[in-house]
DNA sequence: CGTTGCCTTGACTAGTTTCAAGATCAGTGG
DNA sequence: CCACTGATCTTGAAACTAGTCAAGGCAACG
């Protein structure tokens, strides 16, 4: 099928599958099933038994976790080409978070056993996966450092810069994030409240550095945000 | 040599090396070099080129990271049997943190290339390492959730409970952490200041739940700390 | 065209940090 | 063995950041 071939070609180029033998790759692809995830719906729920692991082909997801007392945080944003829901690789049986589509998305899913089998037979895949998880660990540590040592304004600046670098698109007079992000989302990414985020963005807007909108944000002066993010003191 | 055999037997039992073939394991052990790390000295420095990876045989380390503006955080505490300094697995060439011995410690070191070689040939090792990193990622996310949503007192309670569960030893009328931990250390683990930590511990001491000391802490009522850590609101 | 969801803003409050000073303890060298 | 010194810890008071509470505006959607 045409779409299948397109997807296959796309997937083939992903770093996780680099260095994998053609035969193995083909076998992998033949076992994956595609699924469309409409905006605002979840691929699976936190706590569910992890029987499948996923690859985001197209679209954008946010992975949220809810704490015992109902507070929510966004663990990360999933970009096209990212794997997610690989609970097994983390040595657990249930999904630790809930991935929600920020825009209509399309994912590929495989049975979790395939992952262990394939990794046992494809050391490259295992090493690649490990490095992917490793870089995520690195990112998590950066975030811990930020939340621990920086003030809210710096953290918000950082979060926005990160989103821009992952999904920034040029727009009239600036750069815009390619998918809808609410103030609440930014708050959950930075460990603060939507009120504080709103105040900060209003302030920036007053200075002309950004232009706010409903679930959107146009960055006019990225350099200035960088300064805010990096400012010592 | 006698000590060498003892170490080998100890190492053999570690989860990371479980399922590894005897021959491979022996070869691995024959390439490792032992090193004594005196209290308060660093095994290596953050930013150095990562040419070796390590296993903590005996003792206790804290891994710190310094931010651009000089603020410090403790990334984690390394317990006997833990691997550390495996930068390669994270896909980077330099060490992301500095491990400092909290007590006189002993480590085993291997050339970093051995790690990739061995993982390429021992899928089990690769999967084990991946799961270890995965569980660390899990822990990092928990910490992000805590710092983002909980108040300092809860976070301090959590940190102490974690230290107790990793290295708690019975003492007269309570449990004590097996190695020296300063108020500053706890502050760097929880993203606060030593002043606030001191106040909180003083308060607990007033209630009779703990007993403070210089770089030490006797927990008299662990259950109460649990309550504090888990208290909603 | 009303209802719902998202965003903004002001006023108030509270938890933490910052600043400052002093107490206490451990180790060191005379 | 004891005074000295540096590190660690405690505590008070002031300053402030960010959260909470509350109300209203605005835009999208059915």
Q: What is the 3-state secondary structure (H, E, C) of chain B?
A: CHHHHHHHHHHHCCHHHCCCCHHHHHHHHHHCEEEEECCCCECCCCCCECCEEEEEEEEEEEEEEECCCCCEEEEEEECCCCEECCHHHHCCCECCCEEEEEEEEEEEEEEHHHHHHHHHHCHHHHHHHHHHHHHHHHHHHHHHHHHHHCCHHHHHHHHHHHHHHHHEEEECCEEEECCCCCHHHHHHHHCCCHHHHHHHHHHHHHHCCEEEECCEEEECCHHHHHHHHHCCC
Cβ A143–B145 below 8 Å, yes or no?
no
Q: In terms of CA atoms, which chain A residue is nearest residue B133?
A: A134
Is residue B53's pLDDT more than 90? yes
B123–A123 CB contact, under 8 Å: yes
A149-184 exposure pattern, b = at least 16 Cβ within 10 A, e = fewer: bbebbbbbbbbbbbbbebbbeeeeebbbbbbebebe
Q: Is the pTM of this model over 0.85?
A: yes
Q: Give the CA-to-C1' distance from B112 to D8 in angstroms.
A: 39
CB pair distance less than 8 Å for A140 and B135: no
Q: Name the DSSP letter for residue A173.
A: T
The parts of chain A modelled with pLDDT lower than 70 are 1-2, 232-233
User: Which burial class, exposed, middle or buried, applies to A87 when counting CB atoms under 10 A from its CB (0-12, 13-18, 19+)?
Assistant: buried
Strand D, nucleotides < 7 Å from a protein CB: these are 8-12, 17-22, 27-28
Whole-number Å distance between alpha carbons of B36 and B49: 21
Nearest nucleotide to the CA of B214, by C1', is D8
3 state DSSP class of A83? strand
Of A19, A123, A16, A119, residue with least CA distance to B115: A123
| Residue B129 to residue B17: CA distance in whole angstroms | 9
Structure tokens at A130: 């490990």
Backbone angles phi, psi at B210, to 5 degrees: -140, 170
Please report the sign of the dihedral spanned by the C-alpha atoms of residue A161, residue A163, residue A169, residue A175.
Answer: negative
Q: Which of B148, B158, B185 to mutate to test the interface with A (most CBs of A within 10 A)?
A: B148
A136 touches strand D (CB under 7 A): no
If you average pLDDT over residues B201-216, what whole number do you get? 96
Residues belonging to chain B with any Cβ–Cβ distance to chain A shorter than 8 Å:
65, 67-69, 71, 73, 75, 89-92, 96, 116, 119-121, 123-124, 126-127, 129-138, 140-141, 143-145, 147-149, 188, 190-191, 230, 232-233
Q: How far apart (Å, rounded) are the C-alpha atoms in residues A162 and A202?
A: 20
Cβ pair B191:A75 closer than 8 A: no
Q: CB–CB of A130 and B126 under 8 A?
A: yes
Q: pLDDT value at position A1?
A: 58
Is there a contact between B143 and A145 if contact means CB atoms under 8 Å apart? no
Q: Work out the burial of residue A120: count CB atoms within 10 Å of its CB; fewer than 13 is exposed, 13-18 middle, 19 or more buried.
A: middle
pLDDT of amino acid B70: 82
Distance CA A57, CA A80 (A): 5
Number of Cβ within a 10 Å radius of residue B4: 12
Mean pLDDT, residues B64-70 taken together:
88
Please count the residue pairs, one from chain A and one from chain B, whose beta carbons lie less than 8 angstroms apart: 134
The residue written with tokens 């060439």 in the block is B93
C-beta of residue A87 within 8 angstroms of C-beta of residue B141: no
Using the CB atom, is residue B183 less than 7 Å from strand D? yes
Query: Mind listing the pLDDT tens digit for each residue in A89-136?
Result: 888 999 999 999 999 999 999 999 988 888 888 888 888 888 999 999
Residue B10 binned pLDDT confidence (cut-offs 50, 70, 90):
confident
Interface-testing mutation among B16, B141, B150, B233, with chain A (most A C-beta atoms within 10 A): B141
Query: Among partner residues A90, A136, A147, which is closest to B131 by beta-carbon distance?
Result: A90
pLDDT at position A47: 95
What is the pLDDT, as a whole number, of residue B12?
A: 92
The predicted structure's pLDDT at residue B232: 63
**Distance (Å) from CA A214 to C1' C1?**
21
Say yes or no: Cβ of B198 under 7 A from any atom of strand D.
Answer: yes
In this predicted structure, the answer to whether residue B5 has a pLDDT above a threshold of 70 is yes
Distance A111 CA to C15 C1' (A): 48
Q: Which nucleotides of C are covered by protein (CB under 7 A)?
A: 6-10, 15-20, 25-26
Encoded tokens for B93: 């060439």
> What chain A residue is nearest to B118 in terms of C-alpha separation?
A123
Residues 6 or more apart whose Cβ sits within 8 Å of residue B15: B81, B128, B132
User: How confident is the model over B104-148, as pLDDT tens digits?
Assistant: 999 999 999 988 888 888 888 888 888 999 999 999 999 999 999
Is nucleic acid strand D under 7 Å from B193's C-beta?
no
Q: Which residues of B touch A124 (CB under 8 A)?
A: 120
Rounded Cα gap, residues B133 and B144, in angstroms: 16
CB of A170 nearer than 7 A to strand D: no
């Amino acid at each position: 099928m045409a779409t299948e071939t397109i997807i296959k070609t796309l997937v083939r180029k992903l770093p996780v599958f680099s260095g994998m033998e053609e035969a193995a790759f083909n076998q992998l692809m033949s076992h994956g099933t595609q699924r469309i995830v409409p905006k605002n719906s979840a691929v699976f729920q936190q706590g569910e038994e992890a029987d499948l692991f996923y690859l985001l082909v197209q679209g954008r997801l946010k992975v949220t976790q809810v704490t015992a007392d109902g507070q929510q945080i966004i663990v990360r944003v999933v970009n096209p080409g990212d794997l997610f829901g690989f609970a097994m690789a983390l040595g657990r049986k249930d999904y630790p978070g809930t991935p929600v589509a920020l825009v209509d998305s399309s994912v590929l899913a495989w049975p979790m056993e395939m992952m262990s089998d394939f990794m046992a037979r494809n050391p490259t895949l295992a090493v690649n996966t490990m490095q992917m998880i490793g870089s995520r660990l690195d990112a998590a540590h950066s975030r811990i450092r930020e939340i621990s040592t920086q003030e809210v304004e710096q953290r918000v600046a950082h979060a926005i810069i990160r989103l821009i670098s992952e999904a920034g698109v040029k727009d009239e007079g600036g750069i815009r994030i390619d998918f809808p992000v609410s103030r609440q989302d930014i708050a959950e990414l930075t460990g603060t409240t939507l009120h504080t985020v709103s105040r900060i963005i209003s302030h920036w807007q007053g200075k002309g550095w950004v232009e706010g909108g409903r679930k959107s944000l146009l960055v006019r002066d990225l350099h200035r945000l960088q300064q805010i993010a990096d400012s010592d003191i």
